[in-house]
Amino acid sequence: MKKLALHWKILIGMALGVVVGIILSLIEGGDTFIGNYIKPFGTIFINLLKLIAVPLILASLIKGISDLKDISKLSQMGGRTIVTYLITTLTAVTIGLILVNVIQPGKSISTDTRLELVEAYSSDTKEKQVAAAKQQESGPLQALVDVVPSNIFLAASNNRNMLQVIFFALFFGIGMILLPEKKVKPVKKFFDSFNDIILKLIDLIMLAAPYGVFALLAALVVEAPSLELFQALALYAITLLLGLALMIVVYIIIVRVFTNKKASFFMKGIAPAQLLAFSTSSSAATLPVTMECVEENLGVDKEVASFVLPIGATINMDGTSVYQGVAAVFIAQAFGLDLSLSAQLGIVLTATLASIGTAAVPSAGIVMLVIVLAQAGIPEAGLALIFAIDRPLDMCRTIVNVTGDAAVSMIVGKSIGKLKD
């Protein structure tokens, strides 16, 4: 077992988790046993990953920016990163809309199934509607206001405030660059050491990864809804999965074109992060492993990875963008609504902006979907249609989010000469 690569250990843990989950779900009291004695270990594993996320972003971004020693390099890297992320996000929404219009999965939803789903998940729907209503009540520039924290300690105490932590780290790093090197030398040494300690903690946490994903997958299997609901939504799931797969192909193509790296090199290098993303459904929780894969396996300089990836984990949600496009039109089709071209273009714009504001935590995208639905005039009650299979699809969306971050880091690294040949 020791000789196996990490991604193989994680894969074995996932497979065993599914098998054990299926077996115990068939035994009376098995689901209770998993809930009481297996699922907590998965929760502990996710908590450990979340625990390290904020310290990692602070340490890596401040170290990465202070290593630049030149403010012009920061603006150059930042501009290329943001533009590339926006392009991939727009591509993702467009792919989702094209597929859902061609396949039309919503036409297969019967009235009985629709009513059954709405009734079964009405409480969950109301919860997400309340969260989305708070988001919509804010002014047009509220997102900009939310980026700047009033208290960095409060911001760092909640993983949902990751943008605020990134803002502080960028601001702090810029301050270090603008001061003489002698004055900031002690602080720089501290953050260099702090970063090394965080990376070592990540190595220790990853020793538990196979066992953590085993627990997560076993719990997911026993908590999954009935097969009848899955069958009713199978076409929707296939449409979304096809869109996510196409985004992976897009990444492979752009990595090949801009960096001249083969698909096998890219996919093998990012595989451990993809598997962990699938298990945790959280880009933020997967960030430590993504950084390790990008630096050690894909050859991206630490200076680039420590800047591009934390930003990507917060604003680059391509998997979520595909999902919002597919889900919005799917719900409209299920309710017999024909969306105009202008309405669908509105979805493209809203989904792009919404994905940037989506927290890098499990199922956060479904909250933002309410805003997309409201913008397009689609009944928000239709959100209940997709709750049944949102969790497993959320796991797949996170794979795309993480893969997109890695691809963009390679492209940015290559553009400024910070990618190993």
Is residue 1 one of the residues assigned to a domain?
no
**Residue 200 maps to a domain:** yes
DSSP code of 4?
S
Q: Quick check: is 245 in a domain?
A: yes
Q: Please report the pLDDT score of residue 110 as a whole number.
A: 67
pTM of the model: 0.67
Contact 57, 194 (CB under 8 A): no
Structural domain includes residue 385: yes
Query: Both tokens of residue 150?
Result: 């009033």
Question: What's the CA gap between 358 and 321, in Å, rounded?
Answer: 10
Range with lowest mean pLDDT among 99-108, 306-315, 376-385? 376-385
Cβ distance 330 to 106 under 8 Å?
yes
The answer to whether position 421 is within a domain reads no
Could you write out the DSSP letters of every residue in 226-268? -HHHHHHTHHHHHHHHHHHHHHHHHHHHHHHHHH---HHHHHH
| pLDDT top residue among 261 and 332 | 261
CATH of the domain at 220: 1.10.3860.10
CA distance 12 to 8: 6
pLDDT beyond 70 at 163: no
Mean of pLDDT over the chain: 79
Q: What is the mean pLDDT of residues 98-105?
A: 89
* Cα distance between residue 212 and residue 280, in whole Å: 9
What does R_g of the chain's alpha carbons equal in angstroms?
21
β-sheet bridge partners, residue 175: none
Length of the chain: 421
- Residue 39's domain comprises 6-415
The answer to whether residue 420 sits within a structural domain is no
Q: What is the pLDDT of residues 261-294, one digit of tens each?
A: 999 999 999 999 998 888 877 777 788 889 999 9
Total domain count, the chain: 1
Cα–Cα distance measured from residue 399 to residue 26, given in angstroms and rounded to the nearest whole number: 30
Residue 320, number of CB atoms within 10 A of its CB: 29
User: Which residues make Cβ contacts (< 8 Å) with residue 77, sequence separation at least 6?
Assistant: 68, 304, 307, 308, 412, 416
Is 366 within the bounds of a domain?
yes
